[in-house]
Amino acid sequence: MASFPALKTSAVAQYPATRGFQFRNQVLRFVDGSEQRYRDSAGPLHRWEIRLEALDEGEMAALDSFFTDNQGSFASFAFTDPWDGRVYANCSLASDEADLTSVGEMRGQTGLTVVENRG
The site for another protein (CB under 8 A) is made up of 22, 24, 26, 40-42, 45, 56-58, 60-62, 64-65, 67-69, 71-75, 92, 96-107, 117-119
**Which residues have a Cβ under 8 Å from the Cβ of 96 and sit 6 or more positions away?**
72, 73
Burial class (CB in 10 A: 0-12, 13-18, 19+), 73: middle
In the complex, what is the shortest distance from the CB of residue 94 to another protein, in angstroms, rounded to a whole number?
A: 11
| Alpha carbon separation from 22 to 6, 47, 101, 111 (Å, rounded) | 25, 8, 30, 20
Query: CB of 60 within 8 A of CB of 30?
Result: no
Nearer to another protein, 4 or 67 (CB): 67
In the complex, what is the shortest distance from the CB of residue 93 to another protein, in angstroms, rounded to a whole number?
A: 9
In the complex, what is the shortest distance from the CB of residue 70 to another protein, in angstroms, rounded to a whole number?
A: 9
Q: Integer distance in angstroms from the first to the last C-alpha of the chain?
A: 15
Nearer to another protein, 7 or 62 (CB): 62
In the complex, what is the shortest distance from the CB of residue 32 to another protein, in angstroms, rounded to a whole number?
A: 26
Q: How far, in Å, CA of 69 to CA of 109, rounded? A: 19
Nearer to another protein, 5 or 82 (CB): 5
Nearer to another protein, 29 or 57 (CB): 57
